[in-house]
Amino acid sequence: MCGIAGYIGTVAPAVLPAMLRSLTHRGPDDAGTHVEPGVGLGMTRLAIIDLAGGRQPMSNEDRSLWIVFNGEIYNYRELRPDLLARGHRFQSRSDTEVILHLFEEEGERCVERLRGMFAFAIWDAPRRRLFLARDRMGKKPLYLWHRDGLFLFASEIKALLCHPAVSRALDPEAFHHYLAFGYTPADRSAFAGIRKLPPAHTATLAEGTLALRRYWDLPRGDSLTAGPVPLPERAARIRQELREAVRLRLESDVPLGVFLSGGIDSSAVVASMREVTGQRIATFSIGFGQATPSFDELPFARMVARRFETDHSEEILDPKVADLLPAIVQHFDEPFADSSAIPTFVVAQATARHVKVVLSGIGGDETFGGYPRYLGLRLSERYARLPHWMRSLSGACLVRLVRETDASLNWGDWVRRFISGAERPMPDRYLGWTRFFGEAELERLATPALRQGWKTDVEALPRAAFAARGHGDPVDGAFRVDLGTYLPDDLLVMADRMSMAHSLELRAPFCDHRVIEESLRIPPSVKIPGLRLKGLLKTAFADVLPPQVLSHRKQGFMIPLGRWLRTDLRDMMEDLLSPERVRSRGLFVPDAVEALKREHLGGSRSHGDRLWTLMMAELWLRQYLDTGGPWTLR
């Protein structure tokens, strides 16, 4: 993992090297330290731009400001001439130095002019102030710990755990959120006392006080003008914005490529890349073989690779994933239940053998409407208008007739979720579809000792995001829920940790804030015309992508988890979730866990995601809390 670390306070400078040692990775790096009494900054960064001159920490001309920086600034070449014209002198060609001089010129508002992914800290020595910032979508992590005059920050929790003052107590509120959604929330971590600087926020530490400020947010629906725009013009505008986002992300002094899944998003990235560069494009895909065809998109990836004549590489993932899990858990630092981390880890590992930077289609579903649940939301609005007796009768029949399966398209589970949420108001209905465990299920699963620490509403943030919806359409609210929570806190966390595990930098053009802002100006009915998911995006690229890629249904970057838990991963599940182990933990009710296992193994229900959530929690507890000595619930 690449990243930053530092402290402000009375801690001895000798602590810093231990923190920095936890920020190790394979591949070229820039590293160094600058320490003055009571202050330490350190850096381990993957070298992508200005390999020779970009060493950190970096200072300005008079050494009054020092910066450590993780990430990339894509528009630094555009910003540099203006700074030169204002009299700033540069010692390197790096994007890091551009941030430093921009801060000199504009102060804390410098972040508003940056396009990129970043977490950085600037020490203002004359004013004795520390300024920290994180990019708009939270692509790069930044963890904070502050107590008794001591302030620590780092890109990884394991760096903070090196300090003797930082405890390993479990934060029950963050763990509650993890059980509900499979990841911890934007502002907390699984460790009590360790917090995250949320996406699109800055923080200033001065005279012992830490002040946070949000500098960007998704544009509110009531602030958008949705005048009539012809469909061809909208499609052309979207294609132009994506092309520009791709162009900016091609800045690199090392080889780069593309994760090509075979879906519309990554295919559109390849098409855009072809339009802005004449160089050979390297593409990388992962498949699951003939045993699990409903999860495999390799045939479509090959079509795109042939269409654009890319240098294409493929990796086949088999069920022998148990050996990967300790490394995966280690790189997340927190419990993380999205099983797509496994194929992401494997394709990143394969890709890193060839390139050091890769573009991805992450974010396309949230910006342009790719999830079937968006269609379900429309259908639920009509379903809710039916008489209650008709809903009850039809719902009972559907749940009985449509059985759950282990296929990537599990209609039985979808029907069950749809019917169970039909009586709930919006946005509770939508949020219920996105949860791994609902509150009623957690009442049966979690022990009283764990539940007594749950004081806050885990759905508060997504409800607030939904409330800013526009265009008179609840689907716009669903987009905002996913853009404001699921994308930054799950998908981008997964992409960053699994790529950085192999010293591979991942860039996501669909997550460019201007692409997102342009997307939210468009009514959902235009982005999803009728029942055609991502219809607008497909129209925008219809002239260059193979028709089969445009027409095949969404499969998602998933693994056949449900089937594997009944076969190759069953022994691992039985070990991690044995009644004796569950009882000794004191977090979950053994009978409730056994009921989930029994229903899943018997085939009456598909509980793959729920069981995986509990398994990954146990693996994390073993690796992070058991090995650190006695630990407690906060």
Q: In this predicted structure, what is the pLDDT of residue 31?
A: 35
Instruction: Say which residues have a Cβ less than 8 Å from residue 309's Cβ, sequence separation at least 6.
Output: none
Mean pLDDT of 61-76: 92
pLDDT for position 414: 66
Residues of the chain with pLDDT > 70: what percent? Answer: 83
Burial class (CB in 10 A: 0-12, 13-18, 19+), 315: middle
Helix axes 411-421, 372-383, angle to 10 degrees: 40
The arithmetic mean of pLDDT across residues 508-526, rounded, is 96
As a whole number, the mean pLDDT across the chain is 86
| Strand partners for 73 | 116
pLDDT at 411: 63
Q: Which residues are catalytic?
A: 2
Type of residue numbered 369: G
Query: What is the distance between the alpha carbons of residues 83 and 556, in angstroms, rounded to a whole number?
Result: 44
Spell out where 440-576 has E strands. Answer: 505-507
Q: Residues 236, 275: contact at Cβ < 8 Å? A: no
Give me the domains of the chain, ranges plus CATH numbers: 3-214 (3.60.20.10), 229-369+469-550 (3.40.50.620), 560-634 (no CATH)
Q: What's the whole-number mean pLDDT along residues 399-421? A: 65
- Collect all residues with Cβ–Cβ distance below 8 Å to 1 and sequence separation of at least 6: 23, 24, 25, 155, 156, 331, 497, 500, 501
Could you give the CA distance from residue 193 to residue 157 in angstroms, rounded to a whole number? 11
The predicted pLDDT at position 396 comes to: 63
Average pLDDT in the 440-467 region?
Answer: 95
Residue 456 has phi, psi (to 5 degrees) of -115, 165
Six token digits for residue 38:
């009571």
pLDDT at residue 80, as a whole number: 95
Q: What is the largest CA-CA distance in the chain?
A: 76
Tokens of 567: 């076969």
pLDDT, position 99: 96
Summarised one tens digit per residue, pLDDT across range 314-354 is 888 775 788 899 999 999 999 999 999 998 998 899 899 99
DSSP 481: H
The DSSP secondary structure of 594-633, one letter per residue, reads HHHHHHHHHTSS--HHHHHHHHHHHHHIIIIIGGGS---B
The beta strands (E) that lie in 109-214 are given as 116-124, 129-134, 143-147, 150-154, 195-196, 201-206, 209-214
Cis ω for the linkage preceding 57 (within 30 of 0): yes
Ramachandran region of residue 63, left (φ > 0), alpha (ψ -120 to 50) or beta? left
Q: What is d(CA 354, CA 418) in angstroms, rounded to the nearest whole number?
A: 44
Predicted confidence at residue 454, as pLDDT, reads 96
The residue ranking higher by pLDDT, 505 or 9, is 505
| pTM (global) more than 0.75 | yes
Summarize pLDDT for 351-404 with one digit per residue, the tens: 999 999 999 999 999 999 999 999 989 888 887 777 776 766 666 676 566 666
**Does residue 265 sit in helix, strand or coil?**
helix
User: Of 223 and 309, which is predicted with more confidence?
Assistant: 309
Please give the DSSP secondary-structure letter assigned to residue 353. Answer: T
Using pLDDT thresholds of 50, 70 and 90, give the confidence band for residue 27.
very low
Q: Distance of CA 423 to CAs 302, 398, 632, Å?
A: 44, 16, 39
What b/e sequence results for 359-380 when a residue is b if at least 16 CB atoms lie within 10 Å of its CB, and e otherwise? bbbbbbbbbbbbbebbbbbbeb
Q: How many CB atoms lie within 10 A of CB 93?
A: 17
Separation of alpha carbons 577 and 610, rounded Å: 12
- Is the pLDDT confidence value at 490 over 70? yes
| pLDDT tens sequence across 101-127 | 999 999 999 999 999 999 999 999 999
pLDDT tens for 234-275 read: 999 999 999 999 999 998 777 789 999 889 999 999 999 999
Residue 462 parent element (H or E):
helix 460-467
Residue 597 has pLDDT above 90, yes or no: yes
Is the confidence at residue 550, as pLDDT, over 70? yes
